Structure 1
Amino acid sequence: MDTEHAHHAMPRVALYARQSVEEDQGIAQQIADCEEEVRRRGWLVAGDPYPDNDVSGSTTRGSKTQWAKMLKAFDSGEFDVLMVTEVDRLTRSLTDVLDIRPPRRDIRVVTVRGGIDTEDDDYMLKQLVLLAEREVKIKAQRAARYARERRRAGHPSPGKAPHGYTWVAAANRDQASTRYIIDRDEAVDVRQIFKEFLSGSALGQIARDLNTAGRATRKGARWHTSTVRRILMNPLYAALLPPTQGGASFDLSSIDLSACTAGAWEPLIERDHLVAARDKLVGVKANHQGTARKWLLSGLAICAVCRQPVRSARGTTHPTARKDGSGTAPSRSYHTYRCVNGHFMRGGGIIDEFVSEVCISRLSKPDTLNLLAPKSDTVDVRLLHSQRIALGNRRKSVLKQLAAGRATDEEAEEALDDLADQLRAVDSEIARAVAVDPLAELVDIEDARAWWHDEERTLARRRTVVEALMTVIIHPVGYGKRVTGLDAASEAVEIGWKGRAR
């Protein structure tokens, strides 16, 4: 009977461990220290530990945390004592203490270090938590002041640098305390993305070309339309530090470039190119499927009968039996183009080769410079930037008047909407001024064939050249007839030259 009474009198101990950063080793060490203390006291561990990894001790802990699970376990009578290594591993908020101590709950708290045991009195526990809470507030004020000073100097927040940059640790920074330095290998991806997009390439096509070239994101993942879009929207690439945003998620599309701070690092792209890219994307619903093409003419060439764009398809050979009786050759797949209305389905390889040869021939002529589309008007980009700065200052003035009570909400909203329209108009003008002609880089080339077949030349680049120069019209050739040579292809593929390419 005495043994049974002693067994029930022995405290059942729940072990709780917490840290603000995700580090499994720290949690494991806390639990090990608690288990050793339980053995030393001759107590019993009640169930599995409650580890909260990467959980703050100064903010509210949600219903999915181990803290919430531990409270439910106590309410169910599963343990008598809660053990932690130190008070600050339990909490840094007095609100949490009031949640575990009377009158709400009467959980006995014991620490491995610090001599805390609330069996008789919880005064020291509350005092230590109050001190910890005060220290958190002081640190937060100090961090906010440092963040303001850092932003004024144009330095980004600590953390992972965007693709194209490398974060510089404090010990390795230069005299200017630069945080971002260009990663030369990744920067190639960023510059290609902006160049292709401003030349008219679709987001999905850019992603496909990067993947085809064996390029990967920093995490080793494939490129997607959404990834490419985020890069084109990010002010950091133009060395612009965006303002902080409230809320849980960061919205690139809501960034006001006029509110950005000049960044203290080297830009990867020009500000005008960022403005142009954002002008084409902000307010446009993201198409996560993209419009990626795998072949040169899919979606570009048209059917000679119905004038509808052709699509790429996959054909399969159906070999006949060999004359020597050794069976049939293996079936194989090949690339084709087909009319969406069923007027033809033709092998695409020879058509791509023929159109490529036509493009190379045209680009090899001495009048290549004349192929460039002239700017309709000479635009003073510096004047546009001055207008944009002036509009941004007027926007700040409206906000100050609203804050001072010199303007009503309705007046301010109307003024801000009008300024937003004017800013969008200026950005559109800048976008048109810096738009990249798809043929611009061809002006100074000496060997059009080498340029066309260069491994670094993306499919998107070749497609934009085809689209700028010509309309490809594919004719049916009749059932069972095969086109195998360039001469035969020339009779079944019509080229309609555009503008000055005629």
Structure 2
Amino acid sequence: MPTIRSTTPRVAIYARQSVDEEQGIGQQLDDCRAECRRREWQIAGEFQDNDTSASKERGPKTAWAAMLKAFDAGEFDAIIVTETSRITRSLVDVLDIRPPRRDIRVVVIREAIDTEHDDFMLKQLVLLAEREVKIKGARAARYAATRRAAGHPTPGKPPHGYRWVPQIERDSAGIRYRIDDAEAEDVRQMFREFLAGAPLGQIARDLSEAGRLTRRGSRWSSSTVRRVLLNPVYAALLAPAQPSGEYDATAIDLEACTPGAWDAIVERDHLVAARSRLIGVAPNHSGTARKWLLSGLAICAVCSTPVRSARGETHPTARIDGSGAAQTLRYHAYRCVKGHFMRNGDIIDEFISEVCIVRLSAADALQLVSPRADRVDIGVLHATREGLKTRRQSIARFVARGLLTDLEADDSLREIADEMRSISDEIARAIREDPLAELAEVDDVRAWWNGSTLARRRLIVEALMTVRIHPVGHGRRVTNLDSAAETVTVEWSRS
């Protein structure tokens, strides 16, 4: 039995665009509303898919799916769009709205299509659009392969530390990433501190407390610092493409990366060292961010338990002249978790800082920061790794010429991969910095200490000494460095 339509159809307006632009959707809706007014049609609903491709499958959460569900519920009779490309670029979608599956009347304003009379032109235009999508896809894939071979990244927002170079400003080499000096220093500090042993949370806190925020103006976190330390782009390496929406920095094989055409911010070995410490280790997003120099480092002189930071509060007594008590003040303190003491931490931090500055300024301090005698020769490791790469290429040639079976090649390649992984681990261990190494070239230790991060100061205290804090008894106040020296014991780890 033929479908009986009312003389005035109930119409659903559908608007779609692939890229989120402020005016695009609005203009489509305005044009469709004007056409409905001209024809005196009733608008039963409006459906908008912003930032949605018409050449890919539209999921159940899109306005497209909601519109089909509304038609199935009998809420409208026809769809009106401005252009065929707005409704779809895939014939599969046309089969969703035209017989035999559904019989939705489709009206296209600019191409004067009305499927009540004939849907041949609609299907032809969609087929042409589908063909154009495939041609553009093949062209884009070829261009992407050429671009990657030249070491150029994909267009888009560059990572922290780099700025995108517009085409009009590029040099003859077509470089697309330019180092942002201020942001690049953030990246260098992350690698420097992490390779010296600082926790991710402490690195994030130090950057944020210094007012050095992410590009969005947010504070750094353990997870954002971790992403930086894993990213091969900072060593000027272009990672292999990964499936859309499935990016995983830990799955990137550095050996499969293409040399990038931009300048590196950190050395490749530093990237290898950072990744070796992070990959295979469960991320600790809570971090270990300390606010004070000795939290968790100093120990109680009575029970040898690590001390914790606390907030002390003064309890002033009333003045003799009857004018009342002084204002209650809060202060930074260290406390023994077993209750042996709680002491003002500022004077203790000042004392330990002074002890470190004096020790590192001494004539024999260079012995503390001299390279280890058993230091691995990184140049030899690099040469060995290059030799393994050559062996891997030779095996591929032998297989191609039939001189090796696939099974024999697999065994050899697995052995080479294990050796290369072992060498990368050795390079990572060799490149990890001694927290004192930076001081070898420092002339003014006091200025360096005052300008260094809390993470670096804590690393130096941990490397140089064990700090024991003694109880001082009720009523005694430690207010200067001399009295602090009498109640704090320093046991040197490096002499």
Global fold match (TM > 0.5): yes
Q: Where does the alignment leave 5 or more consecutive residues of structure 2 unmatched? A: none
Equivalent in 86, 91, 97 of residue 88 of structure 2: 91
Tell me the residue number matched to 2:460: 465
> Is the contact made by 1:373 and 1:437 (CA closer than 8 Å) also made in structure 2?
no
Determine whether 1:481 maps to 2:479. Answer: no
Question: How far off is 1:416 after superposition?
Answer: 6.1
Tell me the residue number matched to 2:486: 491
Question: How far off is 1:417 after superposition?
Answer: 5.7
Alpha-carbon displacement from aligned partner over 1:373-408 (angstroms, at most 9, x marks no partner)? 532424332332233344456667788999999999
% identical equivalent positions: 64
TM-score (norm 2): 0.94
Determine whether 1:117 maps to 2:119. Answer: no
1:10 is aligned with what amino acid?
T
Tell me the residue number matched to 2:444: 447
Equivalent in 272, 278, 294 of residue 291 of structure 2: 294
Tell me the residue number matched to 1:157: 154
SS class of match (1:227): helix
> Is the contact made by 1:24 and 1:53 (CA closer than 8 Å) also made in structure 2?
no
Question: How far off is 1:361 after superposition?
Answer: 0.9
SS class of match (1:83): strand
SS class of match (1:312): strand
Equivalent in 233, 237, 242 of residue 239 of structure 2: 242
> Superposed, which structure 2 residues align to 1:297-446 within 5 Å?
297-392=294-389, 418-446=415-443
SS class of match (2:477): coil
Equivalent in 144, 160, 165 of residue 168 of structure 1: 165
> Is the contact made by 2:370 and 2:440 (CA closer than 8 Å) also made in structure 1?
no
Alpha-carbon displacement from aligned partner over 1:263-313 (angstroms, at most 9, x marks no partner)? 000101111111111111111111001111100111111111222221111
Tell me the residue number matched to 1:3: none
Determine whether 1:129 maps to 2:156. Answer: no
Equivalent in 35, 41, 53 of residue 39 of structure 2: 41
Tell me the residue number matched to 2:62: 65
Question: How far off is 1:340 after superposition?
Answer: 2.3
1:482 is aligned with what amino acid?
R
Specify whether residues 226 and 399 from structure 1 end up closer, same or farther in structure 2 by C-alpha distance, changes over 3 A only.
farther
Rounded to whole Å, the distance in 1 between the matches of 2:322 and 2:308 is 38
Rounded to whole Å, the distance in 1 between the matches of 2:12 and 2:405 is 58
2:125 is aligned with what amino acid?
L
Question: How far off is 1:323 after superposition?
Answer: 2.4
1:480 is aligned with what amino acid?
G
Question: How far off is 1:227 after superposition?
Answer: 0.6
Rounded to whole Å, the distance in 1 between the matches of 2:469 and 2:30 is 74
Specify whether residues 308 and 376 from structure 1 end up closer, same or farther in structure 2 by C-alpha distance, changes over 3 A only.
farther
Rounded to whole Å, the distance in 2 between the matches of 1:89 and 1:403 is 49
Equivalent in 258, 262, 278 of residue 261 of structure 1: 258
SS class of match (2:172): coil
TM-score (norm 1): 0.93
Rounded to whole Å, the distance in 2 between the matches of 1:183 and 1:115 is 52
SS class of match (2:310): strand
> Is the contact made by 1:17 and 1:50 (CA closer than 8 Å) also made in structure 2?
yes
Specify whether residues 406 and 159 from structure 1 end up closer, same or farther in structure 2 by C-alpha distance, changes over 3 A only.
farther
Tell me the residue number matched to 1:25: 23
Tell me the residue number matched to 2:180: 183
Question: How far off is 1:168 after superposition?
Answer: 0.9
> Is the contact made by 2:296 and 2:306 (CA closer than 8 Å) also made in structure 1?
yes
Alpha-carbon displacement from aligned partner over 1:193-220 (angstroms, at most 9, x marks no partner)? 1111111111111101001101110011
Rounded to whole Å, the distance in 2 between the matches of 1:273 and 1:410 is 35
